[in-house]
């Protein structure tokens, strides 16, 4: 994938689990990260709870190790993530909840976090996910789209503009991205349309305020139970963002399936359609990206079913990745190869 992608100037990426990368009993994982991908993202190691588990004490080790690995293998690094409502350290959320951290202090803590982290990795990060998942979904309350979560609640939506400005000041060369899910498509009949439009309006307004945002990342966590995405609608979403002069990227692609009893019992009549639908969705996103020169990279959120967040997060779902748990390439891998 790596070499085929580069023929189109497209960087093919994966999220990397440092535990898996360092597992001596599982050398295949490390080999495939190196051979198949030209960009890597830390699955968890650059999140706030990992970097600063105790206030003021930074744990750079695992993230630095990934950066060294990437350098060795001539790969670019996506930085993930500076501002998000999940995987925050306990000292921060507790402090805010018990009032020992005031709003003013919280803003200062965020500024300090962004500055410290971006400076630490300065010159080594290609794209930073500066703000992640700031926008609600139609199923949230209220259902009208709004800025959701810890940061909007405590600092108001202006934290987004601040975050981009602080990140730019700390590393002027890194590309600064807004990253979210359910913004993969745009066009009639897609319930996620409104969110794509909302993020578009947000980006447009940030640009109008001269906020340094360079790109929009579409996560791409899809599921076969939701049907197939449409290439034209995915292309339309990318084109909207590109129309603002922004880069785009797919940042966390996986296409999960429900693991019914029949699937678990190995019933090929249930397994095959899932493999096909998963492959088709990977291919739709990849083709849209390939067709748009503003789409810089296509990153999968893990490449093997052996190491996937899906079963842990969604319960009875899985089969989301392009290799199976024995590192056999699946139909999705082969279809993507064909697209490239
Ligand atoms: C996930 C990781 O894959 C898991 O290991 C972790 O337990 C939870 O977070 N959107 C994101 C990613 O932006 O950071 C999330 O990663 C998946 C959803």
Domain boundaries, the chain: 2-339
Report the nearest-CA residue for atom 16 of ligand 1: 43
Q: How far is the CA of 42 from the centre of ligand 1 (A)?
A: 10
Ligand 1 contact, 233 CB (< 6 A): no
Q: How far is the CA of 181 from the centre of ligand 1 (A)?
A: 12
For residues 228 and 282, give the distance between their C-alpha atoms in angstroms, rounded to a whole number. 10
CB within 8 Å of 102: residues ≥ 6 apart: none
Q: What atom of ligand 1 comes closest to residue 129's alpha carbon?
A: 13
CB within 8 Å of 141: residues ≥ 6 apart: none
If one counts every other C-beta atom within 10 angstroms of the C-beta of residue 74, the result is: 9
Catalytic residues: 133, 252
Residue 192, pLDDT score: 59
Residues of the chain with pLDDT under 70: 189-192
Residue 189, pLDDT score: 67
Residue 42, pLDDT score: 99
Q: How far is the CA of 43 from the centre of ligand 1 (A)?
A: 7
- Is the ipTM value over 0.95, yes or no? yes
Specify whether the CB–CB gap between 309 and 256 falls below 8 A. no
For residues 61 and 178, give the distance between their C-alpha atoms in angstroms, rounded to a whole number. 26
Helices 159-170, 193-208: crossing angle, 10 deg rounding: 60
Ligand 1 contact, 178 CB (< 6 A): no
Ligand 1 contact, 44 CB (< 6 A): yes
Q: How far is the CA of 209 from the centre of ligand 1 (A)?
A: 31
For residues 34 and 74, give the distance between their C-alpha atoms in angstroms, rounded to a whole number. 9
Architecture of the domain made up of 2-339: Alpha-Beta Barrel (3.20)
Residue 338, pLDDT score: 98
């Amino acid at each position: 994938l790596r070499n085929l992608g580069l023929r189109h100037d497209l960087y093919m990426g994966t999220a990397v689990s440092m535990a898996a990368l360092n597992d001596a009993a599982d050398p295949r994982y490390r080999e495939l990260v190196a051979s198949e991908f030209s960009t890597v993202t830390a699955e968890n190691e650059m999140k706030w709870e990992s970097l600063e588990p105790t206030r003021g004490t930074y744990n750079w080790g695992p993230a630095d190790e990934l950066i060294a690995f990437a350098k060795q293998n001539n790969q670019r690094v996506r930085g993930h993530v500076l501002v998000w409502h999940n995987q925050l350290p306990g000292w921060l959320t507790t402090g805010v909840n018990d009032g020992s951290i005031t709003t003013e202090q919280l803003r200062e803590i965020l500024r300090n976090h962004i500055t410290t982290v971006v400076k630490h990795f300065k010159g080594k990060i290609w794209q930073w996910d500066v703000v992640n998942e700031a926008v609600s979904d139609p199923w949230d309350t209220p259902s009208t789209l709004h800025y959701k979560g810890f940061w909007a609640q405590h600092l108001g939506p202006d934290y987004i503009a601040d975050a981009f400005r602080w990140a730019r000041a700390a590393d002027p060369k890194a590309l600064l991205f807004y990253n979210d899910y359910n913004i993969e498509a745009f066009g009639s009949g897609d319930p996620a349309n409104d969110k794509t439009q909302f993020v578009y309006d947000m980006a447009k307004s940030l640009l109008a305020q001269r906020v340094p945002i360079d790109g929009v990342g579409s996560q791409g966590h899809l599921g076969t139970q939701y049907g197939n995405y449409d290439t034209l609608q995915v292309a339309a979403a990318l084109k909207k963002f590109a129309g603002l002069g922004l880069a785009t990227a797919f940042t966390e692609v996986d296409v999960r399936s429900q693991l019914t009893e029949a699937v678990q019992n190995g019933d090929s009549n249930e397994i095959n359609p899932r493999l096909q639908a998963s492959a088709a969705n990977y291919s739709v996103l990849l083709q849209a990206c390939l067709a748009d020169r503003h789409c810089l990279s296509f990153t999968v959120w893990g490449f093997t079913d052996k190491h996937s967040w899906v079963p842990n997060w969604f319960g009875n779902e899985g089969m989301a990745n392009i290799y199976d748990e024995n590192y056999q390439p699946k139909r999705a891998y082969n279809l993507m190869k064909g697209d490239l």
